[in-house]
Amino acid sequence: MSSRDKWAAEDVPDQTGRVAVITGSNTGIGYHTAEILAGHGALVVLAVRDLEKGNAAAQRIYRASPQARVEVQELDLSSLASVRQAAEALGAAHPRIDLLINNAGVMYTPKQRTVDGFEMQFGVNHLGHFALTGLLLPRMLRVKRSRVVTVSSMAHRIMAAIHFDDLQWEHGYNRIAAYGQSKLANLMFTYELQRRLAAKRRSTIAVAAHPGTAHTELARHLPPFLRPADRLLTPLVVQSAAMGALPTVRAATDPEVTGGQYYGPSGIGEQRGYPKLVDASKQAHDVELQQRLWAVSEELTGITFPV
């Protein structure tokens, strides 16, 4: 057992009997989160866009933990129709869901639109997860101490604002600022969801996490001018995806976690290290902006929450 200041996978309590749905779990942070939870007894559903890659990830988990229980569910967060179909399938297969981890994401993409016409980063990272959570929440509310864990990023501080006058970046586009907006939205969503859950005296909680600077496939769209710095800094500050998954895993499983908390690495600048409780930006805690974003998100997705 590791000490509390070096919380690691071996600190995860027994997850037997829990059902965990993890988006984007065929690779990177999501995969390692799934591997740890499955290794500790949870039934893990890999909710992924590419079924072939999802099945391959499931086989890797089985090799590491032969007794693991893993399922694969097709989910394309860039399509609200796919989100609805996945939620319906998940609800039919699992009347109760203990844990939803909103992990999938895209970063620094060239200007693109989702199937529904949303800017890709905002549409996938925030709106897709907003819709999925709203559709699955009825299955979670019946489970005592169920959790919604949403993965944000240090980027919620970088050029980040919720551009209510142009959420879809129709007038110009900055891929870094657009990513920052989506990750700020993840935190605002978590805080507003937690406030609504608490107001209804629900035991379900909403928590956020970020991986620090971790080696994943997200960086494939890194702007060219940042690539030399990335190559230089990677050996110095970037940690493995397995370490980057630990804040998410702690947020999902530590019995001491409470709603509305935010977990990230403990090292300098929260770039690497074991997970600890961290602070979000002042802007992320703006209640008026959180509520405004919630209302807009309901309007754009057509999803209302049972809280």
Active site residues: 179
Handedness of CA 90, 93, 99, 105 (dihedral sign): negative
Q: Are 205 and 257 in contact (CB under 8 A)?
A: yes
Going by the DSSP 8-state scheme, the letter that residue 273 receives in this structure is: S
Stretch (H or E) spanning 208: strand 205-209
Q: Phi first, then psi: give them for residue 251, nearest 5 degrees.
A: -60, -30
Contacts of 122 (CB under 8 A, 6+ apart): 167, 168, 169, 178, 181, 182, 185
Structure tokens, 240: 């493995």
Contacts of 42 (CB under 8 A, 6+ apart): 15, 16, 18, 19, 20, 69, 98, 99
Looking up tokens 């770039």, which residue turns up?
Answer: 271
Using the 8-state DSSP alphabet, how is residue 48 labeled? E
Distance between CA atoms of residues 281 and 279, nearest Å: 7
SS3 category, 207: strand
